[in-house]
Amino acid sequence: MGKGDFSKKIVDWYLVNPRDLPWRKTKDPYRIWLSEVILQQTRVAQGLPYYMEFVRNFPNVKALAAASEDNVMRTWQGLGYYSRARNLHACAKVITSKYNGKFPKTQTELLALPGIGEYTAAAIASIAFGQPEAVVDGNVFRVLSRVFGIEDDISTSAGKKAFTIKAKELLDIDQPGIFNQAVMEFGALHCTPKSPNCTDCIFSAGCFAKKRQMQNLLPVKSKKVKVRTRYFTYFIITKGNKLAMKKRNGKDIWAGLYDFYLIEGKRTQRVEKMMKEDKALIQMEPFINIEFKSESFKHILTHQHIIARFVMLSMSPGFPAKKLHDALGVKLFTAQEIAILPKPVLVSHFLTKKGILE
Ligand code: SF4
């Protein structure tokens, strides 16, 4: 199948089959960027309400740059992959300070911004600014591998490069934004991973995969995601009507969100033994009581399975909050304050289940 044939067919298909999505009705690079970042690793149905809330809370890039980190993380809460939210915020700050709130137009300048990789840069450059850049994502891998019989492994950089070259070769340079969206939409709606609609397909006559019944074998992906199991014991310290929470830092999951004093073990151990072996908690032993211990349960993330349990401890009223902060790095919050803090879904669910949050 020739380049022009593929491009015309897929664009014609797209023009009658696009989903009615808000970011399709705009050329505003801010909104296109927001949608692309939110929809990475996320289904449209899940991402749409987040997109709407971001646009409502932060209508432009300057508003996002001026927001507090807690507010941005709170708006992102529940979407996972929290580094995306931190990068979104950092990127908005750079666009505001360096470009006075106007997105740069070229792929090279876009790629220099925090959190913007090849895919997002190509999407913004082509959709918002009409630049001839080809987008390559999971949908594009699938459509091109099946239609053209590209058997390079998409989990390798050489494989990705082969697809990028093919996507560039096919790109309709008169309407690169429409072309890119057409291929992604065709992969999302028609040539789907498990049940491609081959019987009623614009490519059925020339499709490599259909001819050879290789739909399930393409694209080729060799690397399996390694899943790590982690054992979390959360200690929720209560003092009067307040709860001690801790902001997560560093490079681990959920950085920027609030959870509780945490001991991570190699497996689930007895709570009392754990408390006696922890240097910070042992200092507090005379002042705390165990009020409640939850069952262990599993929280599934893409690369990690968290086996979590919660232990509620009450602190003597006279124990100084500063000492608590110095020993455990926690701060005391009321339920109303906790309600607006950004938290991992695991923590929100527990607090709701215990009736601490609505
Ligand atoms: S014929 Fe099937 S495998 Fe080929 S492009 Fe169409 S839906 Fe995809």
Q: For residue 214, which of 198, 225, 226, 232 has the smallest C-alpha distance? A: 198
Q: How confident is the model at residue 268 (pLDDT cuts 50, 70, 90)?
A: confident
Which of 15-19, 140-144, 249-253 has the largest mean confidence?
140-144
- Would you place residue 215 in the very low, low, confident or very high pLDDT band (cuts 50, 70, 90)? very high
Q: How far is CA 279 from CA 196, 285, 328, 330, in A?
A: 57, 10, 10, 15
Ligand 1, pocket-test mutation among 197, 202, 217, 218, most atoms within 8 A of CB: 197
Cα 302 from chain centroid (whole Å): 10
**Across the chain, what does the average pLDDT equal?**
94
Residue 219 is predicted with a pLDDT of: 96
The answer to whether residue 225 scores a pLDDT higher than 80 is no
Query: Ligand 1 atom closest to Cα of 142?
Result: 8
Could you tell me the pTM of the whole model?
0.84
| pLDDT over threshold 80, residue 4 | no
Q: Which two tokens stand for residue 82?
A: 């929290």
pLDDT at 283: 86
Instruction: Point out the ligand 1 atom lying closest to the alpha carbon of residue 218.
Output: 3
Separation of CA 204 and ligand 1 centre (Å): 6
* Residue pLDDT, tens place only, 74-97: 999 999 989 999 999 999 999 999
Total residues found in the chain within this entry: 358
Least confident of 103-112, 117-126, 259-268, 281-290: 281-290
Is residue 251 pLDDT above 90, yes or no? Answer: no
Mutation test of ligand 1: which of 141, 189, 190 has the most ligand atoms closer than 8 Å to its C-beta? 190
Average pLDDT over residues 304-320: 93
pLDDT at 286: 84
Give the orientation angle of helix 157-170 with respect to helix 3-16, to 10 degrees: 80
Say which of 36, 53, 69, 109 is annotated catalytic.
36
Q: Are 139 and 183 in contact (CB under 8 A)?
A: yes
pLDDT-based confidence at residue 18 (cuts at 50, 70, 90): confident
Pocket test for ligand 1, best of 148, 191, 195 (most atoms within 8 A of CB): 191
Q: How far is the CA of 32 from the centre of ligand 1 (A)?
A: 28
Cα(186) to centroid of ligand 1, in Å?
Answer: 10
pLDDT score recorded for residue 58? 98
Span 344-352, mean pLDDT? 94
Return the ligand 1 atom nearest residue 198 CA.
2
The pLDDT of residue 226 is 87
Q: What structural domains and CATH numbers belong to the chain?
A: 3-217 (1.10.340.30), 228-353 (3.90.79.10)
Residue 250 has pLDDT above 90, yes or no: no
The predicted pLDDT at position 166 comes to 96
Say what percent of the chain tops pLDDT 70.
100
Q: How far is the CA of 153 from the centre of ligand 1 (A)?
A: 19
Comparing 4-13, 74-83, 134-143, 282-291, the range with the smallest average pLDDT is 282-291
Query: Contact, 67 vs 89, CB < 8 A?
Result: yes
pLDDT (tens digit, 9 = 90+) per residue, 62-77? 999 999 999 999 999 9
**Would you call 53 a catalytic residue per the annotation?**
no
Identify the DSSP state of 295.
P
Residue nearest to atom 4 of ligand 1 (CA): 207
**Measuring from each residue's beta carbon to the nearest atom of ligand 1, which residues come in under 6 Å?**
146-147, 190-191, 196-198, 201, 203-204, 207, 209-210, 215
CA nearest ligand 1 atom 8, residue: 191
